[in-house]
Structure 1
Amino acid sequence: MCPTPIQPQPGQESVWNYPRPPRLEPANKRIQIVFNGVTIVDTERAMRVLETSHPPTYYIPPEDIQQEYLIPSSRSTFCEWKGQGSYYSVKVEDKTAIDVAWYYSTPTPNFSAIQNYVAFYAAPMDACYVDGEKVTPQPGQFYGGWITSDVVGPFKGEPGSWGW
């Protein structure tokens, strides 16, 4: 069963207008991530991946991440669009979040612009911001999209969405 897309208002995007296969583009917004009270990301150079039914996933250039807080993980994943992915855990002082960020060291040609850029799950962080707006994590355990007021769904990961 296909969901009924929410009609976007002026200044909003519908995730149902995003393409499949996904598209990569500059985010053109300020992205900030806070973990255990420390701002570990502050950038205006992020890229975003847009895929049908998913809110944007933001990829951060490595030089705009406080690298001392990233711990390489043995976990890996595979994306049919981006290729083989690897994970980081994040540790700030006495707080650690396991496997909460991922990257592609050798992405497919269509995603070569995000080689070694890092995406973060929003839920384990204290806060993630897009242009100062605190994001809502995409529902579901698997998905890494960030929901803001300028994006409408319904979103993959919500109850009943597995059949989409």
Structure 2
Amino acid sequence: MSTSNTPNTTRTVKIPGPDHPITIERNASRVVVTVAGRVIADTRDALTLREAHYPPVFYIPRKDVDVAQLERTAHSTYCPYKGDAAYFSIPSGGERAVNAIWTYEAPYAAVEPIREHLAFYTDRVDSIEERE
């Protein structure tokens, strides 16, 4: 993702393809995210997004995230394949958990299934576990 603080500027929009594949699949496992000893997210409805050479990312439905533990930040980024990302911090996680979560509130059509989902940086939370 590239950093962007200027919304509505002319931007390149790219479509996933053979040179930059993106797939989104339902994850059959239960996915649990913890920070500072607290469960922040717990779902059986996660999506797994695989993009080009990047590690897979779990996108968790907003309804399965304890949003009362989050704080929206002014940080934003832009991805030419997915759109504008908004960020949240997890105050209970301290400095490490600043901008730990991102979401595409109006994703491009190619990744529409991730709308209303949140993703977590693995190095800014205590754990992201797949459970049975």
Q: Tell me the TM-score normalized by structure 1.
A: 0.64
2:122 is paired with a residue of what secondary structure? Answer: coil
Distance 1:53 1:45 in 2: 24
Aligned to 1:45: 45
Q: For 1:76, give the aligned amino acid.
A: S
Distance 1:69 1:125 in 2: 13
Distance 1:99 1:52 in 2: 23
- State the Cα RMSD in Å: 1.9
Aligned to 2:121: 121
Within a 5 Å distance, the mapping from 1:77-156 to structure 2 comes to: 77-92=77-92, 95=94, 97-131=97-131
Distance 2:66 2:85 in 1: 20
Distance 2:82 2:75 in 1: 16
User: Does the 8 Å CA contact 1:19/1:51 hold for their aligned counterparts?
Assistant: no
Q: How far does residue 113 in structure 1 lie from its aligned partner after superposition? A: 1.3
User: Does the 8 Å CA contact 1:88/1:99 hold for their aligned counterparts?
Assistant: yes
Aligned to 2:31: 31
**Where is the helix percentage greater, Structure 1 or Structure 2?**
2
Q: How far does residue 121 in structure 1 lie from its aligned partner after superposition? A: 0.4
Deviations 1:111-161 (A, max 9, x none): 1111131000011211111226xxxxxxxxxxxxxxxxxxxxxxxxxxxxx
User: Does the 8 Å CA contact 2:98/2:124 hold for their aligned counterparts?
Assistant: no
Deviations 1:75-118 (A, max 9, x none): 111111111111001122x7352111000110001211111310
2:112 is paired with a residue of what secondary structure? Answer: helix
Q: For 1:50, give the aligned amino acid.
A: R
Gaps of 5+ in 2: 1-17
Q: Tell me the TM-score normalized by structure 2.
A: 0.79
Distance 1:68 1:28 in 2: 26
Q: 1:19 to 1:32 in 2, by over 3 A?
A: farther
Distance 2:71 2:80 in 1: 25
Q: Which has the larger radius of gyration?
A: 1
Q: For 1:56, give the aligned amino acid.
A: P
